């Protein structure tokens, strides 16, 4: 199920987008609830499980960062530990086999992929995608960013391509732009925008 993509645009802001499909590879439905959202200082886009997304958005309480704590130490120690604890307490994932779920997490100016065994991965290209359409999305994005600059144009072309080729990905999507902070800009949170209207029947 799903294609989630994050990339840094020409303004150096981060775009996070996710399709709206719910699928078991045989049937499909369009979800009303976006798979991309913010929780405190984090922006998250998830695949793997709607339950995982619900826990990340509504149950997980990000740990408070200590004074003078490095970003790496905060993410790899406190954040990872709190996520693992939260999933275990709510009956999600398998702590014995070290298998949870896959999602993208944006923190400060970093685009991070949380892998199934709860390790963070950062991609040098600043293009990250997870889900069934991840390979198509990554390759397409590398070309689109060379020829397009408008965020919605990029995303519409991207999800048209991925949705056409992957049965469990929709061409409808939600997205948000996470603006990198400046000296006179404190409020960094954006709500998801609807990227393609539902077709009338």
* pLDDT value of position 95: 67
Report whether 62 contacts 39 (CB < 8 A).
yes
Report whether 74 contacts 66 (CB < 8 A).
yes
* pLDDT value of position 48: 86
* pLDDT value of position 23: 82
Distance CA 45, CA 131 (A): 10
pLDDT in tens, the chain (201 residues): 789 999 999 999 999 999 999 887 778 899 999 999 999 999 999 998 999 999 999 999 999 999 999 999 999 999 999 999 999 999 998 767 667 889 999 999 999 999 988 899 999 989 999 999 999 999 999 999 999 999 999 999 999 999 999 999 999 999 999 998 764 545 555 667 766 655 554
3-state secondary structure of 195: coil
CATH 3.30.420.40 holds for 3-194? no
pTM for the complete prediction? 0.88
* Edge-to-edge order in the sheet of strand 193-194: 127-131, 3-8, 14-19, 173-178, 193-194
Report whether 151 contacts 15 (CB < 8 A).
yes
Distance CA 123, CA 112 (A): 8
């Amino acid at each position: 199920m799903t294609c989630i993509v994050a990339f840094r645009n020409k303004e150096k802001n981060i775009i996070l987008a996710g399709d709206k499909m719910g699928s078991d590879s045989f049937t499909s439905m369009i979800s009303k609830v976006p798979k991309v959202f913010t929780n405190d200082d984090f922006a998250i886009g998830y695949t793997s499980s709607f339950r995982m997304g619900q826990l990340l958005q509504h149950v997980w309480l990000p740990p408070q960062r200590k004074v003078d704590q490095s970003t790496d130490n905060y993410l790899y120690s406190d954040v990872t530990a709190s996520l693992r604890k939260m999933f275990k307490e709510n009956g999600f994932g398998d702590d014995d086999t070290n298998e949870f779920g896959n999602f993208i997490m944006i923190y400060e100016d970093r685009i991070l992929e949380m892998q199934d065994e709860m390790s963070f991965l950062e991609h040098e290209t600043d293009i990250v995608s997870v889900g069934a359409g991840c390979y198509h999305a990554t390759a397409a994005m590398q070309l689109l960013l060379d020829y397009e600059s408008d965020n919605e144009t990029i995303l519409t072309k991207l999800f048209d391509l991925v949705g056409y080729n992957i049965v469990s990905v929709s061409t409808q999507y939600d997205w948000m732009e996470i603006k990198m902070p400046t000296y006179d800009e404190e409020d960094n949170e954006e709500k998801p925008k609807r990227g393609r209207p539902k077709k009338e029947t």
